[in-house]
Amino acid sequence: MARRVVVVGGGVMGSSAAWHLASRGDEVVLLEQFTPGHDRGSSYGSSRIFRLAYADPFYVGLAVRALPLWQRLEEEAEAEVLTLNGVVDHGPAAIVRRLEDVLGAAGRPTLALTPAEVAERWPGLRADTAALFHPEAGRLHADRAVAAFQTAARKRGAQVRHGVKVARVTARGTGADVVTAEEEVIAADAVVVAVGGWTPQFPAPGNEGLPALRVTAEQPAHFPAADALEWPSFIHHGGAGLPEGSGIYGLGSVDGVKAGFHGIGPVVDPERDERVIDPVVLRNLQEYAERWLPGADHAHPTTKTCLYTTTPDHDFVIDRSGPCTVLAGFSGHGFKFASVVGELAADLVAGRPGPDRFARTRF
């Protein structure tokens, strides 16, 4: 018998969960508090990196699982979401060698390059010390990805409702009641909560066991470049030309060449939409682009902010408590895994165990 499942949160994770659940025959209702394509959360914009390269084999394996699911989504939604034009990781030789070793152990193709070879292949990009290119990588279009998951979910019978703010989720026997801000009560056999930066204050079963989530407003910039869509994505690891522990990520997009620092933004309350442009961060990004991205116009950036929600160990939370499955803490590196996160959520709803790595009780 089909379960009635309510998914709270229509960002990339909730939308993926709705697709997977509906694909398995569940009766799915997806509720999103904002309008389609909104910019209040973590899933909007034109660009996110997709890559397999991690020093941790666990995440390499998870990304390998995600890749064919993104391709299946494109087929079902009839939408172009993923562009595989490769990623360049560069920085300290030891870091780059570790990535090469882990990808090699997983049987994935790589190509070691010198900084001179990177500059020859991509004249607009400068590499630092050592570099590694892997072709099974590139970029995802964030807005299209969210819309594609919702389109595919609808094709499978899911209801997708925007402009519906959920006030709370309460346990009811073996199921739950989802109560909206307008006091509409939706009875469910199971609930998936995927509310991003709103997770810390969202009232739902199981949330009391979550780790302390840090919600920040991050500030990448887009630099004009005529050939932006031809650029590979790139990760500049700290420790060589950058301070130890720092790092820069970037990629080409329809908005230009995007570059940003990882997880340095101020703590914010998403309800208050406290997002302002920090001129110091912008100046630092411009100085970085001037030195390392000579093919981009460092003098004329455009800036946006987006929410980051991170756990203390930067691993995700994908776990179930009673009728409620919680998806949280994905920011910084989670978007690429959305296609498989929805699958893991559907497994939990069906009563299958999730990865211990993502258990909320690990803290």
pLDDT bucket at 1, cuts 50 / 70 / 90: low
Mean pLDDT across 18-30 = 98
Contact 192, 327 (CB under 8 A): yes
Question: Three-class SS of residue 190?
Answer: strand
- From the number of C-beta atoms within 10 Å of its C-beta (0-12, 13-18, 19+), residue 179 rates as middle
Q: How far apart are CA 289 and CA 294, in angstroms?
A: 7
What pLDDT score was predicted for residue 3? 94
Alpha-carbon distance 190 to 156, whole Å?
A: 18
Per-residue pLDDT at 202 exceeds 90: yes
- Are 14 and 32 within 8 A, CB to CB? yes
Domains and CATH numbers, the chain: 4-44+143-211+313-362 (3.50.50.60), 87-135+215-310 (3.30.9.10)
Q: How do strand 221-223 and strand 214-218 relate by DSSP bridges? A: unpaired
Who has greater pLDDT, 208 or 112?
Answer: 112
Q: What is the pLDDT of residues 228-259, one digit of tens each?
A: 999 999 999 998 888 888 899 999 999 999 99
Contact 260, 220 (CB under 8 A): yes
**Residue 216 pairs with which residues in a beta bridge?**
267, 308
Count Cβ atoms within 10 A of the Cβ of residue 255 and give its class: 0-12 exposed, 13-18 middle, 19 or more buried.
Answer: middle
Whether 206 has a pLDDT exceeding 80, the answer reads: no
User: Sign of the C-alpha dihedral, residues 358, 210, 38, 286?
Assistant: negative
Dist. CA 56–CA 86, nearest whole Å: 19
Lowest mean pLDDT among 216-220, 221-225, 335-339: 216-220
For residues 9 and 32, the answer to whether their CB atoms sit within 8 Å is yes
Residue 273, pLDDT score: 74
Cα–Cα dist 349/345, whole Å: 6
Q: DSSP string spanning 84-123?
A: ---EEEEE-HHHHHHHHHHHHHTT---EEE-HHHHHHH-T
Q: pLDDT tens, 138-187?
A: 999 999 999 999 999 999 999 999 999 999 999 998 999 999 999 999 99
pTM of the model: 0.96
Nearest Cα neighbor of 249 from 139, 146, 105 is 139
* Residue 56 neighbours by CB distance under 10 Å: 12
Looking at every residue in the chain, the average pLDDT score rounds to 95
Q: Span 7-24, mean pLDDT?
A: 98
pLDDT at 207 over 90: no
The 10s digit of each residue's pLDDT in 63-73 is 999 999 999 99
Element (H, E) at 166: strand 166-172
Structure letter (DSSP) for residue 266? P
- Cα 349 to the center of its chain, rounded Å: 21
The predicted structure's pLDDT at residue 130 = 97
Q: Is 263 left (phi over 0), alpha (psi -120 to 50) or beta?
A: left
